[in-house]
Amino acid sequence: MSDAHLTCNGQRLTALHVNVANIGPWVAELDFEAAPDVSGRVQIRAGSLVLSGTVRANLAGEYVEQWRCVVVGGAGGWSRQLGRKAYHNDAKIKARLVADDAAREVGEAIMDFVPAAERIGVDYVRSAGVASRVLEHVIGQGVPWWVGYDGNTRVGPRASVALPLESQADVLGYDPRNRMLTFSVVDPGVVQIGSVIAQSPLSEPQTVREFELYITADKTRVVAWVGGTAGERGRLAGLLEVIARRVTDAPIYGKYRYRVVFQRDDGRLELQAVRRDAGLPDLKPIRVWPGVAGAAAKLTPGTEVLVEFVEGDPQQPIVTHFAGVDGPGFVPIEIVFAESEMRAARQGDLVQSGGPGCTVVLIPVTPTTPPAPAVLPGVPHLISFSTTPPTPTIASPLYGSISTGSPKVKL
């Protein structure tokens, strides 16, 4: 390839190294012929290959009047940090909504979008963290995503295409132990993830899952990994992912303090994070799992509660604990057991018997005694337990208080 066709923003390059993984953005290392002022969004050309990416300012510099830099596909935003944000939709949240929000906040653009499921759940809690982690959460496990040569992000399966090596390139070597295939090409633009190579001396077709382009003025060499599956990150990226997840695991474990802002009629809570630096957003509305079967409480605004995530899943936040004796909002407005609407009585509470609205049925003393008539509702009567009852007169209601109760239960 002539070096006149190897450029970045019109500036000539002496060498170009491009790493293209199955998942994520491509990364290019550029060696310029001189030391031009190149920064921000750039366009790289190598034959029919046109790459649109962004210069990493912290990975660029000049040495001996030659500029060298690293360019990341697209805006280079998927490695940036996102702030916390909460989503809720009783009809379930669209995966595209969460993905587009993340992309917009880091300057990326999503084109094709084919996730594992169109909707992800009723709740989704986006904790502060790397943008690509959010994208991978909502598109589903095993669904590939990548930044194309044009700088746009795409989600979904890649197409498999035959690579016409016979007319454009030669296989230089193949290591079946590491599944590494090396070949040269005339035009680097014909190589892509999903390229199927079926040429002698290979014993069977091989599909490119990750590759590196080494381009200089006189040759283009490709080193491709042809192992794994369409949903894997790639040879090196897969190993790095395992290490990274040890440090910043995707699930959200632990318990987080929130205060009650409002409680809805169905019992769900609208919550405000107590500590903003914990990296989680305010939440609403969140279900309560009190830990006691058949119990429900109407909480006092300002009550502190603990929120955790079922199996660490950001789509399943629940309230599991409430403030203790010395905590804010320890005493609730109301407690209900087994969905009962009856009120409970306590020791010392006032009680009333008889009076208007009372109906008393008099039971005969012996089976041979004719039954006495019921006392009419709303007509007070005197009830006597004497063997010689006095003449009936109108009686006032009887008032009293509960004097005893359980020594083990206090209300």
pLDDT value of position 248: 47
Model pLDDT for residues 295-338, shown as the tens digit of each residue: 888 999 999 999 999 888 888 899 999 988 888 888 888 888 88
Q: Residue 97: in which H helix or E strand, if any?
A: helix 95-105
Binning pLDDT at 50, 70 and 90, where does residue 405 land? confident
- Angle (CA) 367 368 371, round 5°: 75
Model pLDDT for residues 217-243, shown as the tens digit of each residue: 788 899 999 887 776 666 655 544 444
Closest among 257, 302, 313, 266 to 286, alpha carbons compared: 266
High-pLDDT (> 70) share of the chain, %: 80
Average pLDDT over residues 370-384: 57
Model pLDDT for residues 138-176, shown as the tens digit of each residue: 999 889 999 999 999 999 988 777 766 555 657 888 898
Closest among 19, 241, 22, 228 to 145, alpha carbons compared: 22
pLDDT value of position 340: 80
Rounded CA-CA distance 228/232 in Å is: 6
pLDDT at 369 over 60: no
The verdict on whether omega for the bond into residue 407 sits within 30 degrees of 0, i.e. cis, is: no
- Identify each DSSP E strand in 117-273 by its residue range: 123-126, 129-130, 145-147, 153-155, 161-162, 169-175, 180-185, 195-197, 206-207, 210-216, 220-225, 256-263, 269-273
